[in-house]
């Protein structure tokens, strides 16, 4: 029997462990609103670590998860339509440009992941897979992805990756 979205949640022990792991600058695997993601605090060194695990270019930008708008105030987003996209009930990533850098932002919907991001601040999240391959979803496949990455599993997620809107080009990427 599949659990309904409202019932899918990491338990409080898993949430606390995930927060501790992230604060220790570790890369972990977390469920997201769509699929399982390789996650870490949003720092340049963690971006490199994650891209190395995915066998992707070290400069490949990653989605940044946030739980409240105060976490991204520094980006000075003035376009109200972008807030509407980020607040959508359909997980949507919005690419913005600020100070000649691009950021891919997604507001967290899941309450358990919100608790984590509320405690840690911004985190990266990108599909768990080797770059160019299909995302992993089973607990066994996630556990075998890397011996160095702890998995926080609640059930198989069969979702699709988030929709992506590029506000710079004004086009839907996915």
Cα separation, 132 vs 73, in Å, equals 33
pLDDT tens readout for residues 87-127: 999 999 999 999 999 999 999 999 999 999 999 999 999 99
> In sequence order, what are the beta bridge partners of 94?
105, 165
Question: What angle, rounded to 10 degrees, do the helices at 111-120 and 12-23 form?
Answer: 30
pLDDT tens readout for residues 122-135: 999 999 999 999 99
- Show the domain range for 44: 5-172
Number of domains in the chain: 1
Percentage of the residues of the chain whose pLDDT score is greater than 70: 95
Residues 146/40, Cβ–Cβ less than 8 Å: no
- CATH number for position 134: 3.90.870.10
Cα separation, 127 vs 136, in Å, equals 8
Instruction: Summarize the confidence of residues 42-54 as an average pLDDT.
Output: 96
């Amino acid at each position: 029997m599949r659990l309904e979205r409202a019932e899918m949640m990491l338990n409080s022990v898993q949430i606390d462990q995930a927060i501790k792991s992230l604060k220790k600058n570790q890369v972990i695997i977390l469920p997201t609103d769509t699929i399982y993601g390789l996650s870490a605090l949003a720092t340049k060194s963690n971006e490199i670590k994650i891209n190395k695990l995915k066998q992707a270019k070290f400069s490949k930008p990653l989605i940044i998860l946030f739980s409240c708008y105060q976490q991204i105030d520094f980006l000075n987003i003035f376009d109200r339509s972008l807030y509407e996209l980020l607040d959508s009930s359909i997980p949507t990533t919005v690419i913005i440009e600020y100070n000649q850098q691009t950021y891919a932002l997604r507001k967290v919907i899941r309450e358990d992941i919100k608790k984590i991001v509320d405690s840690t601040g911004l985190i990266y999240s990108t599909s768990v897979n080797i770059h160019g391959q299909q995302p992993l979803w089973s607990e066994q496949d996630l556990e075998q992805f890397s011996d160095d990455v702890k998995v926080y599993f609640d059930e198989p997620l069969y979702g699709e990756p988030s929709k992506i809107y590029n506000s710079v080009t004004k086009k839907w990427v996915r």
